[in-house]
Chains A and B, each alone.
Chain A
Amino acid sequence: MKHYNKKKKNQYIEALSKIASKKDVASFKIIFDYFGPRLKSFLMSSGSTESIAEEIIQETMTIVWTKADYYNPKLASPSTWIYTIARNKKIDILRKSNKAILEDIEVASLPPIESKLEDDIELDQKFDIINKYLDDLPKDQLALLKLNFIEEKSHGEIAKITNIPLGTVKSRIRLAMEKIRTRIKNDGNATDLNDVNIGKNIK
């Protein structure tokens, strides 16, 4: 994986700030041209059709335009922020695709979603510092996380693709997540992770 390109990152931070401060269309175009095509690859690799991917991109970019003032470079890189918006848009799309095949009136009569999700963007953009921990993860663990998160494969599917036993897939993913969480915690960046314990509630 390529190393994090600071210069590029700063360029997009600056563009976002110009969108926020003076609704600068040229800056918006810079963001659009860089992230749009990447989001498209991303969305299509997790199963979106081309038209759905472009619909999500359009809506995501609209939010980038209107909510750029919510972006805080101290909390997240531009790519994490924009990804988070796109992911939150996914629910609209899932909802629409349900409607298309829907027969029962109860849900068909739901009003069009008027998403307030973007108002919570600020809450979502934490711990960009995690990026530096990711670089330290073993390659095999990172590869599994990629299949898991980017391509949205289940643990079972990952086992088949990689020829790694299911139990190993599960434990490696769990291990990778725990490693990152422990480091966040040790560095004092975490919210309190203590109040929920894995497995505590299962009898």
Chain B
Amino acid sequence: MIDIIMTQPALSSAKFLFQKCISESSSEGNAIEVIRNCISGKFLEDIKPTDLNKHVWNDTLEIISINKKTKQSKNLDQLYEHLPQTLQNYLINTKIKWKNYGKIKVSRINSKSEKDKLELIYVNPNASIPQHTHEGNEAFLVLHGSYKDQYGTYNKGSVQIRNEDHDHMPIGHPTSGCIGLAYTEGKIKFSGKFYKILNFFN
């Protein structure tokens, strides 16, 4: 599943962030990202160049002549340290706006105006999320801790696909709880159960 997600074009910020987080959290994802970069580097050498507008060089020179002082970044949420670097950078100096649902809290990462959705989810230690199903397909990446449901136990770097057929009651790890990233694509219509999973990321 990870390879299917990782080889999809990342044309929205939600999907791009999701892929980058997978590549940081799982070795399979990392391997694919590394391969992608190597392949792309190779193609970059062979591609036919397009002339740049002249001002680009001058502007760049101007930028590098100004000594930029890097500001100290502030982490405004205690969960920051458990997030992949990509998300830490993305959320830098930002207070994560959580919505609380009892023992879990959820924060939408990407803009509400985008049709796909990326959410950070925190499940308290030992908290169980009430039995629920999923609207459409959701890919869930475990970033920290773990959780279990009747299908299995899921650790850092694993990705699960859930849809309305999965009626489950996840429970966060007894001591560390679970931090995860949920990616939901825009509305898709599917036919057939098997097809659903295969075509999720198309």
The answer to whether A188 has its CB under 8 Å from any CB of chain B is no
Interface string of B153-176 (1 = CB under 8 A from A): 010011111000010000000000
B147 → A minimal CB distance (Å): 12
Interface string of B9-31 (1 = CB under 8 A from A): 11111001100100000111111
The answer to whether B97 has its CB under 8 Å from any CB of chain A is yes
Q: Which residues of A contact B159 (CB under 8 A)?
A: 201
Across the interface, do B112 and A104 meet the contact criterion of CB distance under 8 Å? yes
A91 → B minimal CB distance (Å): 6
The answer to whether B4 has its CB under 8 Å from any CB of chain A is yes
Q: Which residues of A contact B10 (CB under 8 A)?
A: 90, 152
- Which residue on A lies nearest to B202, using beta carbons? A156
Across the interface, do A58 and B60 meet the contact criterion of CB distance under 8 Å? yes
- Pick the contact of A83: B32, B40, B51, B89 (CB < 8 A): B40
Across the interface, do B37 and A116 meet the contact criterion of CB distance under 8 Å? no
Q: How long is the Cα–Cα vector from A203 to B6 in the complex, in angstroms?
A: 20
B51 → A minimal CB distance (Å): 6
Across the interface, do A148 and B111 meet the contact criterion of CB distance under 8 Å? no
The answer to whether B101 has its CB under 8 Å from any CB of chain A is no
Q: Which residues of B contact A39 (CB under 8 A)?
A: 44
Across the interface, do B111 and A196 meet the contact criterion of CB distance under 8 Å? no
Which of A31-50 touch B at CB < 8 Å?
A: 32, 35-42, 44-47, 50
Interface string of B22-57 (1 = CB under 8 A from A): 000011111111111111111111111111110011
A86 → B minimal CB distance (Å): 9
The answer to whether A72 has its CB under 8 Å from any CB of chain B is no
The verdict on A62 contacting B64 (CB below 8 Å), with A42-B43, A117-B86 known, is yes
Interface centre among A32, A94, A106, A194 (most CB of B within 10 A): A94
Across the interface, do B152 and A201 meet the contact criterion of CB distance under 8 Å? yes
The answer to whether B73 has its CB under 8 Å from any CB of chain A is yes
Across the interface, do B45 and A79 meet the contact criterion of CB distance under 8 Å? yes
Q: Which residues of A contact B151 (CB under 8 A)?
A: 203
Q: How long is the Cα–Cα vector from A110 to B157 in the complex, in angstroms?
A: 28
Across the interface, do B152 and A38 meet the contact criterion of CB distance under 8 Å? no
The answer to whether B133 has its CB under 8 Å from any CB of chain A is no
Q: Which residues of B contact A4 (CB under 8 A)?
A: 42, 45
Q: Which residues of B contact A164 (CB under 8 A)?
A: none
Provide the main secondary structure of the chain A interface.
helix
- Which residue on B lies nearest to A9, using beta carbons? B45
Which of B38-93 touch A at CB < 8 Å?
A: 38-53, 56-57, 59-61, 63-64, 70-71, 73, 85-86, 88-90, 92-93
Q: How long is the Cα–Cα vector from A191 to B24 in the complex, in angstroms?
A: 12
Across the interface, do B13 and A94 meet the contact criterion of CB distance under 8 Å? yes
Which of A89-125 touch B at CB < 8 Å?
A: 90-91, 94-95, 98-99, 101-104, 106-107, 110-111, 113-117, 120, 124-125
Across the interface, do A177 and B11 meet the contact criterion of CB distance under 8 Å? no
- Pick the contact of A36: B38, B42, B52 (CB < 8 A): B52
The verdict on A124 contacting B45 (CB below 8 Å), with A114-B92, A116-B92, A201-B154 known, is no
- Pick the contact of B8: A54, A125, A154 (CB < 8 A): A154
B1 → A minimal CB distance (Å): 6
The verdict on A202 contacting B161 (CB below 8 Å), with A40-B50, A80-B41 known, is yes
Q: How long is the Cα–Cα vector from A82 to B40 in the complex, in angstroms?
A: 10
A142 → B minimal CB distance (Å): 8
- Pick the contact of A91: B11, B17, B94 (CB < 8 A): B17
Q: Which residues of B contact A170 (CB under 8 A)?
A: 4, 198
- In the A-B complex, list the 8 residue pairs whose CB atoms are closest, starting with the nearest: A80-B41, A37-B49, A152-B9, A94-B13, A79-B41, A130-B38, A196-B28, A203-B151
